[in-house]
Amino acid sequence: MKITQLEPIILHAPVTRGGIADSTHKLSHWGAPGVAIHTDTGHVGYGFSGTHAHLATDRLIVDCILHSFGPLLLGEDPREVLALWEKLHKQAEIYWVGRAGITHLALGAIDIALWDLKAKEAGVPLWKLLGGSAQKKVEAYNTDGGWLNWPLETVVSDCKRLVEEGGYRAVKLKIGGPNPREDLRRVEAVRQALGPDIRIMTDVNGRWTLPQAIQTGSRLQDFDIVWIEEPIYFDDVEGHRRLAETIATPIALGEQLYTASHFRDFIHAGAVHYVQPDVVRLAGITEFWQVADLARCYSLPVVPHVGDMCQVHQHLCFAHPACALLEYIPWLRDWMETPAKIVDGYYVAPEAPGAGMTPNRRALEEINRA
Ligand code: 0YR
Ligand code: MG
């Protein structure tokens, strides 16, 4: 099996109700810039990154895939994915200008497409190739009811609907707005509406200073929160360590960490309790697996962030023993050949061969028009 051609792909999918916001970002579309890797056997592998759908930035990622990494891939056997990852990482000239950021997202999209090919050629879903089982329970928690730009009544009614009609037993609320009292009011209102048994996660998206995080984070304890996610600036290992020592509510983070060594530093410092690697922020499945193994060595749960809109992560969760819970955001549901499926709050193991990111006809038509 040999790689014959790389084809660029950029897909922009609208988010819920035309626009969402957290404390740090506002977006109308989710971006999926990536690649279709063609082979001489006719199999096509698909891999995407996840972005805020800024076309100029997405083009940089795709250019990096095609022009910086592409020439090193042509003629290679895609099934030798670990060896190819090392080759791209060490031999591509682009690594001189960055071991994180755009270069890393580009390598991640390629790595996912290579694993997709390996699983398609083997005729099995990725979770099976990785040694997983469909018997495993992978629970879903839903992030799509708690956006910061939605009025409190909308957040409360959406969260109730997710629980009562969707079957979810865990939801995430965005906080970190300009007024901490309003943050606490939102959490309190949702806790009251959902009762004591539904789990609630909170996500600050890196907005607080350490003193704000200590003050407001301590008060969140009253509402029995599962975790506070990204309380302070993404790269601050020491700040998160101090916070973890000071407040009772556990800390979750990882969606902004690019490399396995970033995770090593946070985990080793005791600065994180719930480890949230993202297969499209790390360089793909290869590096995700290293992070999940590392977390397992420290007995920490892995609850991935779904920059891929859970399409690849569901496979990883059915396979890796550190994963039992996975975020759910539905923004690629209408664009994928086999969208993630949740029944009664649990993921259903996908049956189609591959890694889960094959676009459907509608997506391919849209891409060709662009
Ligand atoms: C906007 N999940 C997150 C949105 C979400 C972000 O960047 O995608 O809030 O991915 O933090 O945990
Ligand atoms: Mg988050």
What CATH code is carried by the domain that includes residue 153? 3.20.20.120
> How many folded domains does the chain comprise?
2
Whether 291 and 145 map to the same domain: the answer is yes
**Is-catalytic flag, 305?**
yes
Q: Are 342 and 140 in contact (CB under 8 A)?
A: yes
* CB of 255 shorter than 6 A to ligand 1: yes
- Residue 354 inside a domain? The answer is no
State yes or no: pLDDT of 66 exceeds 90: yes
Q: Which long-range CB contacts under 8 A does 181-189 form with residues at least 24 apart? A: 183/216, 184/216, 184/219, 184/220, 184/223, 185/152, 186/152, 186/155, 187/220, 187/223, 187/225, 188/222, 188/223, 189/152, 189/155, 189/156
Pair of tokens at residue 310: 């859970």
User: Quick check: is 25 catalytic?
Assistant: no
* Span from the CA of 203 to the centroid of ligand 2 (angstroms): 6
| Selected residue with higher pLDDT from 75 and 369 | 75
137 and 95 housed in the same domain: no
Using CA atoms, how far apart are residues 108 and 84, in angstroms rounded to an integer?
12
Domain identity same for 236 and 152? yes
Q: What percentage of the chain has pLDDT greater than the value 90?
A: 98
- With the most atoms of ligand 1 within 8 angstroms of its CB, the residue from 205, 229, 234, 278 to mutate is 205
Give CA–CA dist 358/275, Å, rounded: 27
Region 106-115 average pLDDT = 98
Is residue 112 domain-resident?
A: yes
- Cβ atoms of residues 23 and 175 within 8 Å: yes
Measured in angstroms, how far is the CA atom of residue 17 from the centroid of ligand 2? 19
Q: Above 90 in pLDDT, residue 206? A: yes
Give 325's pLDDT tier (boundaries 50, 70, 90).
very high
Please list the residues that pair with 8 across neighbouring strands.
35
User: Residue 98's domain is classified under what CATH number?
Assistant: 3.30.390.10
Are 156 and 300 members of one domain? yes
Q: Are residues 155 and 118 in the same domain?
A: no
* Residue 370, pLDDT above cutoff 90: no
- The residue nearest atom 6 of ligand 1, judged by CA position, is 22
Q: Classify residue 279: in a domain, yes or no.
A: yes
Q: Is residue 370 part of a domain?
A: no
Is residue 213 predicted with pLDDT exceeding 90? yes
Is 357 contained in some domain?
Answer: no
Of 123, 139, 158, the last residue of a domain is: 123
Q: What is the model's pLDDT at position 37?
A: 98
Residue of 43, 174, 240, 262 marked active site: 174
Q: From ligand 2's centre to the CA of 291, what distance in Å?
A: 18
Give the active site residue among 43, 273, 305, 313: 305
Average pLDDT, the chain: 97
Q: Is residue 200 located within the same domain as residue 116?
A: no
* pLDDT tier for residue 229 given thresholds of 50, 70 and 90: very high
Handedness of CA 138, 154, 146, 314 (dihedral sign): positive
Strands 170-174 and 199-203 come out as parallel
Classify 17 in phi/psi space as left (phi over 0), alpha (psi -120 to 50) or beta: left
Please check whether residues 101 and 150 belong to one and the same domain: no
Asked whether the beta carbons of 205 and 174 are under 8 A apart, the reply is: yes
> What's the maximum distance between 2 C-alpha atoms anywhere in the chain?
60
363 in any annotated domain? no
Which range of residues forms the domain containing residue 71?
Answer: 3-123
Task: Judge whether 92 and 122 are in contact, CB under 8 Å.
Answer: no
Determine the average pLDDT of the residues in 218-240.
98
The count of other CB atoms within 10 Å of the CB of residue 29 is 18
Q: Domain boundary at 123, 151, 169, which? A: 123
Kindly indicate the confidence band of residue 72, based on its pLDDT and cuts at 50, 70 and 90. Answer: very high
Quote the CA–CA distance of 341 and 362 in Å, as a whole number: 19
User: Does one domain contain both 82 and 211?
Assistant: no
**Residues 113, 141 within the same domain:** no
Distance CA 227, CA 175 (A): 12
92 and 47 in one domain?
yes
Is residue 364's pLDDT more than 80? Answer: yes
pTM greater than 0.75 (yes/no): yes
Atom of ligand 1 nearest to the CA of 327: 12
Does residue 297 share a domain with residue 343? yes
- The answer to whether residue 367 is domain-embedded is no
Last residue within a domain, chosen from 93, 123, 153: 123
Instruction: Tell me whether residue 267 is in a domain.
Output: yes
Q: What average pLDDT does the segment 172-193 reach? A: 98
Q: What is the reported pLDDT for 56? A: 97
With cut-offs at 50, 70 and 90, classify the pLDDT of residue 368.
Answer: confident
Is pLDDT at 369 greater than 80 in this prediction? Answer: no
For a pocket test of ligand 1, which of 12, 15, 17, 22 has the largest count of ligand atoms closer than 8 A to its C-beta? 22
- Inter-CA distances, 104 with 11, 94, 145, 291, 331, Å: 19, 10, 30, 15, 23
**Both 179 and 40 in a single domain?**
no
